[in-house]
Amino acid sequence: MATRSTLPRPMPDHAATDLTHEQRIREQERARIARDLHDELGAQLVGIGMALGQLREQLSAGGETGSALGQADYARELLAQAHQSMDQIIDDLRPPIVEFGLVDALAWQCRQVTRQSGLPCSLDSPSALPLEDEFVVLSLLRIAREALNNAVRHAQASQIDVKLTLANGTLLLVIADNGIGFAPQAAHRQGRGLRNMRQRAQALGASLALERGGSKGSEGGSSIVLRMPVPL
């Protein structure tokens, strides 16, 4: 039987407090912009879509078959693209899935990776791990997202495994691949991705390590390992 446990906000150490505060404020601001985009721009796009639909019907009823009808159809295509772009921006600002908690958010992210890249991505986790703090869920999702994107872009892997466990007061999140492994200089020549991951981990009071060896049964590969103390 799956044990349901609540996961309160981890205590950041003293040095990370400012960073945590700054990132919390930033995430709140991003969430506000995502909400405004959805509620205001989203509603306006729906309104434009309805007006265009009526316009098209009137043109068609008036016997129009030529370029005016074509223009109306083109405008509807552009509108659909604008809607897609808006959804993508909202998702970048604050993925709506975070409301459902960490396990569902990671499962969704794995499916996205497979859909977009064709790479199988498995998730091994407890069936539920209630997180009360959206900032923690969002930070862990963003870290996992970057690690998964890196595995897709750099690892030449054929499998990615995400593992989530909570034991002895520590939440462990591992994103492993069976690819070529980190080049020795890669950890030093960090791009934005690794740097952001470290900062997010620090703001959670967590540690983040790059480890050799990846997916089960693979000789090479690499893993991103995050350990976050969770008060019992």
Ligand X SMILES: Nc1ncnc2c1ncn2[C@@H]1O[C@H](COP(=O)(O)OP(=O)(O)OP(=O)(O)O)[C@@H](O)[C@H]1O
Which residues of this chain interact with Mg ion, rule CB under 5 A? 150, 193
Q: How far apart are CA 13 and CA 4, in angstroms?
A: 27
Window 93-132: contact mask with ligand X (x via CB under 6 A): ----------------------------------------
Please tell me whether residue 151 binds ligand X under the rule CB under 6 A: yes
Which among ligand X, Mg ion, none contacts residue 173 (Cβ within 5 to 8 A by kind)?
none
Please report how many Cα atoms fall inside a 13 Å half-sphere around the Cα of residue 215, on the Cβ side.
Answer: 20
The footprint of ligand X on this chain (CB under 6 A) covers a number of residues equal to 17
Binding ligand X by CB under 6 A: which of 192, 219, 231, 232? Answer: 192
- 178-198 per-residue burial string, b: 16 or more CB within 10 A, e: under 16: bbebbeeeeeeeeeebbeebb
Which among ligand X, Mg ion, none contacts residue 78 (Cβ within 5 to 8 A by kind)?
none
Q: Are residues 145 and 109 in contact, defined by beta-carbon separation less than 8 angstroms? A: yes
Binding ligand X by CB under 6 A: which of 84, 191, 212, 216? Answer: 191
Rg (CA), the chain: 22
Q: How far is the CB of 108 from ligand X (least distance, A)?
A: 20
Please tell me whether residue 182 binds ligand X under the rule CB under 6 A: yes
Please tell me whether residue 135 binds ligand X under the rule CB under 6 A: no
Nearest in space to 158 (alpha carbons), one of 145, 181, 177, 176: 177
Q: Are residues 186 and 229 in contact, defined by beta-carbon separation less than 8 angstroms? A: no
Sequence-ordered list of residues with C-beta below 8 angstroms from that of 109, at least 6 positions apart, any chain: 97, 141, 144, 145, 148
Binding ligand X by CB under 6 A: which of 16, 177, 200, 203? Answer: 177
> Can you give the binding site for ligand X, defined by CB under 6 A?
150-151, 153-155, 177, 179-180, 182-183, 186, 190-194, 222
